[in-house]
Structure formats: structure tokens, C-alpha cells
Chain A
Amino acid sequence: MNIVGIAACTSGIAHTYIAKEKLLKAGKELNHTIHIETQGTIGTEDELSAKDIAEADIVIIAADIKVGGRERFQGKRIVEISTHIAIKSPKALLNKIQAELKG
């Protein structure tokens, strides 16, 4: 799958970045193409490119707060979860999404 996503937690200091790395690692291990933008206390990093978004099969929003720039995903399938899910079981999450996209 081509995946884009956003990670953002309440204080924007720690969970955001753990969630991002967990999703990236799981994505690579399962042979997906994955880009994750972080919206933390220091602002947006690794901002998603228009091309990555256009090519994405799915958008994963792993956030505990309202994220910015949702309008970029108009017409896309979006999965919304907490950062906890991304940290705790990233592979299971991606496998579930893939199964649902196929089904």
C-alpha cells in the first residue's frame, strides 16, 4: 500500500514521535510505502508532499488532538486512531487496513 499519515499527541513532545517511528518501521517491514508527518509542539515536520498524498491508498491519522490540514485528504480513505494504537500495535493496524481495502 501507499500510506500517508499524521502523528500528533496531546503535548506534542514524545508520543507523536514514537507513533511516527513505529508506523514507519511497521510499514517498511510489511513492504508498504509510508510517509508520516508530525504535528508536535515545535510545529509540523516531514510535511506530506502533494505527490505522496495523491498516490496514497490510505491516510492514517494517529492523533489525540485535532490535526491541521485535513482538507489535503479530500476524497481519500482515512483511518483515524489514537497514537496509542500506533505505538502498541502498528503492524496489526496496517494488516487490518490492508485486509479492509482488499475486502
Chain B
Amino acid sequence: MDLLTVIDESRIDLELDVVDKAEAINALADMLVKSGVLSSKEGFIQDVYLREAEGQTGIGGGIAIPHGKSKSVLKTSLAIGRTKRPIFWESLDGKPVQCIILFAVREVDSTTVHIKLLGEFAGKLADEQVVEKLFTSTQTNEIIDIFS
């Protein structure tokens, strides 16, 4: 399986200029819109917040993985943002985050391939070396390399 089917350099921003969670989700959703992944940005963001209400998506170590399974998603995809400054996020370790990986999941994915890729992607976040590179990479293509 090819990770490039869910991740793309156009949806990675290593200098996200945002001050809080709402701005971060909005900026990441903008990237998804630009690459034609969403039919409705507002609808998608609403579904992301529905998931947020169910429990923390900050997984500790400065990383958050908000995700929305939504009718507004046309193609299951990821957007990755690293913020210029740490921002508050509900996290397992109670600490702010600086790397946010937004999962956009189609409500009805005819093939499960993409969701499976997202699972594999998430599993890699258990690896400390992967996490370190997420924070130290300076080029978007390096981020893709980490996961491929």
C-alpha cells in the first residue's frame, strides 16, 4: 500500500502560524479544501469537533491527532501541521502540542484500504524516532519519508 494516497506535500505545513486549537484545525482544513478533499469545510470541522467531544486527541509528546469521519470528506486523507509555537490541546500528558495530524475520513469508504493506511500511519506514532523526526524535519518531503 502506498502512503502517498493519503498524504501529500501540499497538505503539510511546518510553519503553521496559529495561536490556538480552533485556528489550527481551521488552517489544516483549509489545506484539505485546497487539495479538493472536502465538499464542505464547515461540515467537516463540525464532525471533527464531535470527535473531540468524545475524548482527548492529544496523544502526548506534543502531538495531536484530531480526526473527523464525515460526509463532507470526498477522499480519505491527512493534513499535517507543525505550529510555530506550542498551543493548548486536551492531551494525555496534559501538555501543549506543536504537531497536529488531522485525519479526514470518508463516512462511507467503499474500500477500507485508506482507513487501513491511516491506522498504520497512527501506529507509527508509537515509535519515538518517528516522533523525533516529526519535530526536527525542516522539509515537507522529509515528513513523507518518515512514514514511507
Complex-state Cα separation, A43 to B123, whole angstroms: 16
Q: Does B3 contact A (CB under 8 A)?
A: no
Q: Which residues from chain B sit less than 8 Å from chain A, CB to CB? A: 51, 54-57, 59-60, 65, 67, 69, 92-93, 103, 105, 112, 115-116, 118-120, 122-127
Q: Which residues from chain A sit less than 8 Å from chain B, CB to CB? A: 10-11, 13-18, 20-22, 24-25, 38, 40-43, 64, 84, 87-88
Cβ–Cβ contact B115 & A21, under 8 A: no
Chain B contacts of A18 at CB under 8 A? 59, 65, 122-123, 125-126
Please name 16 further chain A to chain B contacts, defined as beta carbons within 8 Å, in addition to the given A41-B115, A64-B55, sorted by A numbering: A13-B67, A13-B119, A13-B122, A15-B59, A17-B119, A18-B122, A18-B123, A21-B124, A22-B126, A25-B126, A25-B127, A40-B119, A41-B69, A42-B116, A43-B112, A88-B92
Instruction: Give the distance to chain A from B17, nearest Cβ to Cβ, in Å.
Output: 26
Instruction: Give the distance to chain A from B27, nearest Cβ to Cβ, in Å.
Output: 20
Cβ–Cβ contact B56 & A84, under 8 A: yes
> A10 with B55: in contact, given A22-B126, A88-B93 (CB under 8 Å)?
yes
- The secondary structure that dominates the B interface is mixed
Chain A contacts of B69 at CB under 8 A? 11, 13, 41
Cβ–Cβ contact B59 & A13, under 8 A: no
Closest chain B residue to A64 by CB distance? B55
Chain A contacts of B105 at CB under 8 A? 13
Instruction: Give the distance to chain B from A24, nearest Cβ to Cβ, in Å.
Output: 8
Cβ–Cβ contact A87 & B92, under 8 A: yes
Q: Ordered nearest first, which 7 A-B pairs have the shortest CB separation?
A: A21-B126, A14-B122, A17-B123, A17-B119, A21-B123, A42-B112, A17-B122
